[in-house]
Amino acid sequence: MILFLIPCTLLLVSCEGTTFRSSVPIYPVRFTIDTRTGQYVHFVPEAINTYVTVDRNGYHYNGRDYALNATDMYGYAGVVVYINSFCEYTAYDLCCPNCAMLRQPCEIDGAFAICPHCGEAYDLASSTAAPQRGIAKECMLRLKVLNNGGRLTVSQTK
């Protein structure tokens, strides 16, 4: 029994401290997009490469702006909710990890989030938002999307 416990203990100790920490500060995120009604009825999984952004100025979708609710929280630099090439909803804080201290949101250009400061491009269609140009060393900060029958709730991963 003791011989079994020693390797298990070593494995647990060796994994300590391997938790990833993003360069983007953690700010509260909590809002809901109801794709069943209103302005978001076309924001469905089959609509690959479409997105909604949320920032201090409200929701931005399909060329229109909509007001925030009093309880909405939109992260550090805003949030993008994106339908990737796997027909899944993914969400990321819009802050470039390479330029996190500037708190400047990336701009969406097709399937990429582009940092206006350093020029890094993050691939949103891949479901990882990985940097493509090699300027940044980490992916964008991913957020949790809970899809409850077309009602999307976006929040922190923890």
Query: How high is the pLDDT of residue 12?
Result: 43
Tens of pLDDT, residue by residue over 1-55, are 444 444 444 444 444 444 557 899 999 999 999 999 999 999 999 999 999 999 9
Cα–Cα dist 154/75, whole Å: 10
Tens of pLDDT, residue by residue over 63-81, are 999 999 999 999 999 999 9
Cα–Cα dist 85/70, whole Å: 33
**DSSP code for 105:** B
- Please list, in sequence order, all residues whose beta carbon lies within 8 angstroms of the beta carbon of residue 6, skipping any fewer than 6 positions away: none
CATH class of the domain at 28-155: mainly beta
Cα–Cα dist 154/73, whole Å: 10
Parse the chain into domains and list their residue ranges: 28-155
